[in-house]
């Protein structure tokens, strides 16, 4: 197995995988054992107040292990992967200055890419034109957006909704494909990573259902009612998976049964896209894959942390 020295200032451990796979629980166990700091790579958990529906670490979890990358943006703020990566490097430097290792944990692939792969120097986009185009695209389904992207930037048409919107607006408002800009305006990456991909396989579907029920028991509906009173309906934070259906439920536009079905379907679809990304975008020589319910998972995870080997 190719390896990197995670004690190096430009190297980091990354625990990733699809939503609901059990990444956070495993990361907390490892971080406690090795006195590490967890750096969240989750584009949903950055928003203040959006807690239950994003499976944000609880206060107890955060008292067990220090976390960074959580509650760093207001719900109405547009928070880019590049901004996250810049802040992540600062958090990593602070942790190392304190003599503590860092583990990046999350399922947002384009955050991990921004941290570990070449970035590009973004071209300016007129704010008024962007707002008008985004208003139009909000009315389009993800499938319709994907058809637009196939015509405008086909190499990115397999991605999720947020990336599709970014691809379409760049092609229309900048006049260049985003996939081309990533190649022609690239800057060298600053961080190398060694990955632990957590995925329970077929069991994930049932785990997603159980997690939804647990979120409801933890007060997700009440959270959405409170947020609806103070967060504008157009705020980026509402794009977090499941929140649209929950808003429809709390105002009576959808039954609780229908909302449950819709959230579970959306979450499974999101997990499928994540699996595709983690299967095709990570360097295999730097990747270990585990099933968290396997009896050997804990040992394999510790070996991975210590750089002792690799498991498929």
Bridge partners, residue 193, by sequence: 12
Q: What is the pLDDT of residue 44?
A: 94
Q: What is the pLDDT of residue 75?
A: 95
Map out the domains of the chain with their CATH numbers: 11-117+190-306 (3.40.50.300), 120-186 (1.10.20.140)
CA triple 83-236-125, angle to 5 deg = 60
Shortest CA distance to 32 belongs to which of 96, 100, 92, 98? 100
Taking the model in full, what pTM does it have?
Answer: 0.79
Are 220 and 52 in contact by the 8 Å Cβ rule? The answer is yes
Q: How many residues comprise the chain?
A: 312
Q: What is the pLDDT of residue 135?
A: 83
Take residue 159 and report the two structure tokens written for it: 């991605």
Please state, in angstroms and rounded to a whole number, the distance separating the CA atoms of residues 62 and 54.
Answer: 15
CA triple 129-130-131, angle to 5 deg = 90
Take residue 229 and report the two structure tokens written for it: 């009173």
Q: What is the pLDDT of residue 128?
A: 83
Please state, in angstroms and rounded to a whole number, the distance separating the CA atoms of residues 253 and 261.
Answer: 14
Residue ranges in the chain modelled with pLDDT below 50:
1-2, 311-312
Take residue 102 and report the two structure tokens written for it: 């860092």
Q: What is the pLDDT of residue 187?
A: 61
């Amino acid at each position: 197995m190719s390896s990197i020295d995670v004690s190096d200032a430009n190297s980091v451990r990354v625990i990733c995988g699809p939503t609901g796979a059990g990444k956070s629980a495993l990361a907390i166990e490892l971080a406690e054992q090795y006195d590490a700091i967890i750096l969240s790579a989750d584009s949903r958990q950055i928003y203040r107040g959006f807690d239950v529906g994003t499976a944000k670490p609880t206060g107890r979890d955060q008292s067990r292990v220090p976390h960074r990358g959580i509650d760093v943006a207001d719900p109405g703020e547009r928070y880019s992967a590049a901004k996250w990566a810049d802040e992540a490097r600062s958090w990593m430097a602070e942790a190392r200055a304190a003599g503590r290792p860092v583990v990046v944990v999350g399922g947002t692939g384009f955050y991990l890419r921004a941290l570990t792969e070449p970035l590009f120097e973004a071209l300016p986009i007129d704010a008024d034109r962007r707002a008008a185009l985004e208003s139009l695209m909000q009315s389009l389904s993800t499938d319709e957006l994907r058809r637009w992207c196939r015509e405008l930037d086909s190499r990115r048409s397999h991605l999720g909704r947020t990336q599709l919107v970014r691809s379409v607006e760049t092609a229309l408002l900048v006049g260049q494909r985003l996939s081309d800009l990533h190649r022609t305006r690239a800057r060298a990456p600053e961080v190398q990573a060694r990955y632990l991909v957590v995925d329970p396989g077929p069991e994930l579907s049932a785990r997603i259902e159980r997690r939804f029920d647990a979120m409801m028991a933890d007060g997700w509906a009440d959270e959405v009612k409170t947020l609806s009173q103070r967060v504008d309906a157009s705020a980026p934070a509402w794009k977090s998976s499941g929140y649209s259906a929950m808003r429809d439920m709390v105002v009576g536009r959808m039954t609780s049964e229908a909302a449950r079905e819709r959230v579970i379907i959306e979450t499974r679809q999101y997990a499928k896209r994540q699996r595709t990304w983690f299967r095709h975008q990570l360097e295999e020589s730097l990747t270990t894959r585990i099933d968290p319910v396997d009896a050997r998972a804990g040992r394999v995870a510790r070996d991975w942390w210590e750089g002792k080997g690799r498991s498929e």
